[in-house]
């Protein structure tokens, strides 16, 4: 198990905790959290992350997917905004659907396929998804904090519904909060990406 962001702050024999075996457990610090960690009882779960098989360390299995991605895998595309599913800054794709990683437990994605912003354009022309290209052309970002959620939401919408109407687009994109007020340019960019995707699929 990789524990590169963990520092052992307290360790005690498992026998002192009344478990009856001789293994040493520990309380480890992971980012802002303290987690009980017993190496001998580690259960390894696997999932597909950005096209590669990866382990979900047991120390993270009951933590939020957002922290597994950011603290363990150092994927900082998904952002922490509200932590309660309200803002959309943390959106990733799980089996192709836009999901808020601050609400999912890391253990919930065992056996599933997770894609973050870092991998969205993989294998595409210039390494950019059509949504990312349209974003650049329309000059959407201001401070940038919400942009992961907007781009991942738009990409999932157009993959699921290439014929999304203006109303569909507004409904999906208005669900992601942008405090800089870029939503007019967001709509322009999503429509441009939709046109590009349709052209390529002919």
In the complex, the residues that contact ligand FES under the rule CB under 6 A are 80-83, 85-90, 100, 102, 141-147, 178-180, 182
In the bound complex, what is the minimum distance in angstroms from residue 36's beta carbon to ligand FES?
A: 25
192 within 8 A of 137, measured Cβ to Cβ = yes
User: Of 159, 150, 144, which Cα lies nearest the Cα of 189?
Assistant: 150
Please, which residue, 76 or 142, has the CB nearer to ligand FES?
142
Please, which residue, 57 or 78, has the CB nearer to ligand FES?
78
In the bound complex, what is the minimum distance in angstroms from residue 153's beta carbon to ligand FES?
A: 11
Please, which residue, 43 or 180, has the CB nearer to ligand FES?
180
User: Of 94, 101, 105, 79, which Cα lies nearest the Cα of 177?
Assistant: 79
In the bound complex, what is the minimum distance in angstroms from residue 150's beta carbon to ligand FES?
A: 7
In the bound complex, what is the minimum distance in angstroms from residue 87's beta carbon to ligand FES?
A: 3
The DSSP symbol for 1 reads -
In the bound complex, what is the minimum distance in angstroms from residue 199's beta carbon to ligand FES?
A: 28
Please, which residue, 102 or 164, has the CB nearer to ligand FES?
102
User: Of 11, 2, 10, 7, which Cα lies nearest the Cα of 29?
Assistant: 7
CA distances from residue 11 to 8, 14, 179 in whole angstroms, order as listed: 7, 9, 44
Please, which residue, 28 or 190, has the CB nearer to ligand FES?
190
91 within 8 A of 148, measured Cβ to Cβ = yes
């Amino acid at each position: 198990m990789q524990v590169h962001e963990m520092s052992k702050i307290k360790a005690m024999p498992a026998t002192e905790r009344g478990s009856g075996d001789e293994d040493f457990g520990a309380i480890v610090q992971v980012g802002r959290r303290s987690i009980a960690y017993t190496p001998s009882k580690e259960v390894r779960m696997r999932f597909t992350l950005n096209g590669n098989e990866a382990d979900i360390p047991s120390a993270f299995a009951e933590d939020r997917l957002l922290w597994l991605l950011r603290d363990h895998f150092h994927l900082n595309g998904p952002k922490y905004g509200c932590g309660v599913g309200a803002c959309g800054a943390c959106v990733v794709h799980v089996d192709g659907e836009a999901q808020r990683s601050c609400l999912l437990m890391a253990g919930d994605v065992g056996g599933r396929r997770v894609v973050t912003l870092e991998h969205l354009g993989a294998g595409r022309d210039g390494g950019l998804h059509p949504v990312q290209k349209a974003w650049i052309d329309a000059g959407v970002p201001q401070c940038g904090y919400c942009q992961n959620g907007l781009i991942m939401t738009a990409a999932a919408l157009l993959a699921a519904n290439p014929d999304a109407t203006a109303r569909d687009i507004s409904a999906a994109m208005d669900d992601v909060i942008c405090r800089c007020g870029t939503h007019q340019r967001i709509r322009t960019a999503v429509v441009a990406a939709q046109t590009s995707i349709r052209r390529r699929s002919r």
